[in-house]
Amino acid sequence: SRLPAIRVQLHFPGPFVTLMLLPGLSARHAPLRCAEFSGTSLEQLRQAQAAFVDEREWSQFHTPRSLALAMVGEVGEVCELLQWRGDAGASPGLPGWTDDEREALADELSDVLSYVVRLADVTDIDLPEAFLRKVEKNRAKYPSERARGSAAKYPRYADPAGVAGGAAAPAAAPAAAARPRRDSRRARTAQPRTCARSRRSWPPLRSP
């Protein structure tokens, strides 16, 4: 019979971290879920944002290019909050972070999401539907029986013989044809070298 999953709650300052330990998985490799999202849908976010933009007549500025560039800037601000911390300083659940630090990260992530939703809106893309389609594409690219525990790029999973666990190393490229060796002991010009800035003469390098 199948063993039940074990639910473990690890309490840190701020929201608790929940670990779901599934049979056969150690705590180190267990899927980690830090919190559950609220029931707010992306459509509700899109509507709220559209109303916010319309009230300020900002639609005239929201071209796809401008939104994409603004989104990149906000991603940079997310990275700035994590920069220099190392993996230990920003581990899942953010243990050791203050409430102000967590709030700052939440603000920047919200800005990124805001631009993602707005960009999808002005380009007429149903983001939830597109997301689910992309998940199915990724399922095909990364079959669980081949990709489990591996961080390799998806072309590695196209051929079962080239996947982790006993995958053969890629064939070595043929060696380039050897170039004819120059006579390294031929006489070299004995003219002194001159520094362009100071015009000072330097002795030539010693021949091997």
What is the spatial distance between Cα 56 and Cα 69, in angstroms, rounded to a whole number? 20
| Three-state DSSP string of 43-58 | HHHHHHHHHHHHHHCC
The pTM (predicted TM-score) of the whole model is 0.61
pLDDT of residue 155: 78
For the record, the structure tokens of 16 come out as 């608790």
Q: Name residue 201's beta-bridge partners.
A: 194
Non-local CB neighbours of 202 within 8 Å, separated by 6+ positions? 192, 193, 194, 195
The tens digit of pLDDT for each residue in 47-71 reads 999 999 999 999 999 999 999 999 9
pLDDT at residue 17, rounded to an integer: 36
pLDDT of residue 146: 87
- How many residues comprise the chain? 208
pLDDT digits (tens, 9 = 90+) for 67-83: 999 999 999 999 999 99
Question: How much is the pLDDT for 154?
Answer: 77
Alpha-helical (H) ranges within 34-126 are 42-56, 64-82, 86-89, 99-122
Which two three-digit tokens encode residue 25? 């998985």
- The parts of the chain modelled with pLDDT lower than 50 are 1-29, 162-178, 184, 188-190, 193-208
Nearest residue to 30 (alpha-carbon basis) of 13, 14, 10: 10
- Tell me how far apart the alpha carbons of residues 62 and 58 are, in angstroms, rounded to a whole number: 7
What pLDDT was estimated at residue 2? Answer: 41
